[in-house]
Structure 1
Amino acid sequence: MQRTHSPIVFPRWYSVGAALVAVILWSVAPLLAERAHTSSPLQLTALTLLAGALATLPLSRRVNVASCSRGWQLGIWAGIPLLILGAVSTYFIGMRLAPAAEAALITYTWPVLFVLLSQWSRLGKLRLAGVTGALIAFSGAALLLVPQALSSGLGGATVGYGLALLAACCWALYSWLSQAAPVSITPLLPRMLLIACAITTLVSVGFEGQLVLPSGEALLAGVALGLGPYGVAMVAWDKALRWGHASLVGSLAYGVPILAGLLLVLAGVSVLDWRLPTAALLVVIGCLNAGR
């Protein structure tokens, strides 16, 4: 998302409040995804993206994308929707194959990857703080991955962890492209979500034969995912970055993996052992160090 600030100065609590809304909604996403487990991941992705497009409609406005180079036009209208599709779908699939809290934690390593991409694109090299932060964060992910890989090989949960890591890569690339784009991406978000939803629907019909609307709890959870974590949260995050200091607001996002894991444990979805909080702490420390 574009990290451009408004010339109007708002009280600091405006930006902090908006950021906290986004953080809380993102933290609820793994629990909502778990509640929608009866729906196929691709159909859940399509429903979530559609609800997200509707929730972000107030942001939509005309942007002169035609003034960009052909490469950027392709990146905006094809690359970014495909990254959103990849991030959401691999996240949902990963959570079906691996424990929800652990898969969510691995996905939330994306800020470290985003920092590394930003440093490389701006400086042509990686700073020591960024590399050290990445090593700390991924040591937390390894704490979850390695024992599972040693005990069960490359199947099952290990594949789920790999897909969660792929989701993190997609979010990092999406954030980097949004920051580097020559035009603001935020007003285009509803249309890009609709494009991603259309592609997901076609893929779902091609692989699953038919598109079936989820029912009951899965339907409510899918709509809530789109309206909240992939709708209102993205609007709130955009406002937080525009109203306040990016460094202060950004630091609040590092609490998402801890809060998300806590909610899953309290809901009885995940079992708390020493590895999960230790890994969460390492991810947060790594993100903070990389973003210095």
Structure 2
Amino acid sequence: MTSHRATLIGFVAVVLWSLLALLTVGSAPTPPLLLNTICFSIGGACGLIWTYFSGGLGVLRSVPIRVYIFGSLGLFGYHALYFSALRLAPAAEAGLIAYLWPLLIVVLSGFLPGEKVKRGHLVGALIGFAGAVLIISGGGSGFEMNYLPGYGLALICALTWSSYSVLSRLVGQAPTQSVTIFCLVAALLSLPLHLVFEETLWPQTNIAWISTALLGFGPVGLAFFVWDIGVKHGDIQLLGAASYAAPLLSTCVLVLAGVAPLSPTLGLAALLVTGGAVIAARASLNSDD
């Protein structure tokens, strides 16, 4: 596979992740852990089929158990938090806070061995978090206390995925097929927790079922496979830059779909979160900073 083709494949993940918030809203009222169970079961089943035809299931036996544990907990934790956040707060606003993860990846990677935190990282972080503060404060409409739990979960969600992404460099390499096991284990973790802590509410309408199925096939399934291919075989810097567009794209999708109203506060917050990530990324690429 050429680097150019792998990069194009990786771009698919960014497009799919921009649909995550919209499809999560469409899947309501299914509770987060049940949604995790359904979506990761779909993603894992598709992964098994692809793994079988792309090289055989035997490749999965060569992956260290620590990689499976780490990857499964990362996917499980991020999506359980994300789905919960969007059930408790407005989708566009909670989604933007959750999409602080590209910015946090850049900042946290500065603490890895051989790396350092630069001035541009701190400036970008301040700008990005200013966007989050604008959302939480409510902008011109004022502070909404009832949304605070959702916003808090969205922030933990961003910290979870960024920490997972940075620490994954220390865990070890694994073939793309290992994402199949990540999905299946995430589903197995979600099911008993759902039965203990949640009321079982299956999707109630055709739209909800379609949204749930598309979540499993796309943002919670295929996206992780194509992203893995992209970052391993394509232009990782170009893909990293593309990921900073995800919060802006996600917000645009919600507005165009009529799920979120277009407001000055939402637009400014989207620009701050995206702009902060871009500034931090430029600091990483600038050796003189």
Q: Same fold (TM over 0.5)?
A: yes
What amino acid sits opposite 2:189 in the alignment?
I
Give the 3 Å change call, closer, same or farther, for CA 248–79 of structure 1 in structure 2. closer
Shift of residue 65, structure 1, vs aligned partner:
4.1
The aligned counterpart of 2:157 is: 167
1:20 to 1, 11, 29: 11
- Superposed CA RMSD in Å reads 2.4
Is residue 33 of structure 1 aligned with residue 24 of structure 2?
yes
The aligned counterpart of 1:99 is: 90
What amino acid sits opposite 1:275 in the alignment?
T
Unaligned 5+ residue runs, structure 1?
1-7, 67-72
Trace 1:121-132 onto structure 2 (pairs within 5 A).
Answer: 121-123=112-114, 125-132=116-123
Give the 3 Å change call, closer, same or farther, for CA 185–84 of structure 1 in structure 2. farther
Give the 3 Å change call, closer, same or farther, for CA 163–106 of structure 1 in structure 2. same
What amino acid sits opposite 2:24 in the alignment?
A
- State the distance in 2 between where 1:152 and 1:250 align: 33
Is residue 282 of structure 1 aligned with residue 280 of structure 2?
no
Shift of residue 208, structure 1, vs aligned partner:
2.7
Shift of residue 190, structure 1, vs aligned partner:
1.2
Shift of residue 62, structure 1, vs aligned partner:
2.5
Is residue 43 of structure 1 aligned with residue 34 of structure 2?
yes
The aligned counterpart of 2:203 is: 214
Once the two structures are superposed, what CA deviation does each residue of 1:168-193 show, in whole Å capped at 9, x if it has no partner?
Answer: 11111221232222232633211122
Give the 3 Å change call, closer, same or farther, for CA 185–110 of structure 1 in structure 2. farther
Give the 3 Å change call, closer, same or farther, for CA 65–238 of structure 1 in structure 2. closer
8 Å contact 2:39–2:212 — kept in the other structure? yes
- State the distance in 2 between where 1:104 and 1:285 align: 16
Shift of residue 200, structure 1, vs aligned partner:
0.8
8 Å contact 1:178–1:185 — kept in the other structure? no
- State the distance in 1 between where 2:17 and 2:158 align: 14
The aligned counterpart of 1:85 is: 76
- State the distance in 2 between where 1:152 and 1:142 align: 10
What amino acid sits opposite 1:43 in the alignment?
L
Is residue 199 of structure 1 aligned with residue 197 of structure 2?
no
The aligned counterpart of 1:184 is: 174
Q: State the TM-score, normalizing by the size of structure 1.
A: 0.85
Shift of residue 244, structure 1, vs aligned partner:
2.6
- State the distance in 2 between where 1:242 and 1:81 align: 19
Residue 290 of structure 1 aligns to a residue in which SS?
helix
Residue 69 of structure 2 aligns to a residue in which SS?
helix
Unaligned 5+ residue runs, structure 2?
52-56, 283-289
Once the two structures are superposed, what CA deviation does each residue of 1:1-36 show, in whole Å capped at 9, x if it has no partner?
Answer: xxxxxxx644x3x24532332221111111100011
The aligned counterpart of 2:245 is: 255
- State the distance in 2 between where 1:144 and 1:152 align: 9
Is residue 234 of structure 1 aligned with residue 224 of structure 2?
yes
The aligned counterpart of 2:109 is: 118
- State the distance in 2 between where 1:125 and 1:258 align: 28
Number of residue equivalences:
274
8 Å contact 1:15–1:249 — kept in the other structure? no
The aligned counterpart of 1:62 is: 60
What amino acid sits opposite 1:108 in the alignment?
Y
8 Å contact 2:26–2:208 — kept in the other structure? yes
- State the distance in 2 between where 1:185 and 1:240 align: 12
8 Å contact 1:83–1:173 — kept in the other structure? no
What amino acid sits opposite 1:234 in the alignment?
F
Shift of residue 130, structure 1, vs aligned partner:
1.7
Shift of residue 83, structure 1, vs aligned partner:
2.7
Once the two structures are superposed, what CA deviation does each residue of 1:38-81 show, in whole Å capped at 9, x if it has no partner?
Answer: 21222111111111212333256335345xxxxxx44x343432
8 Å contact 2:109–2:115 — kept in the other structure? no
Residue 113 of structure 2 aligns to a residue in which SS?
helix
8 Å contact 1:63–1:187 — kept in the other structure? no
- State the distance in 1 between where 2:26 and 2:2 align: 40
- State the distance in 2 between where 1:114 and 1:135 align: 14
- State the distance in 1 between where 2:182 and 2:83 align: 19
What amino acid sits opposite 2:176 in the alignment?
T
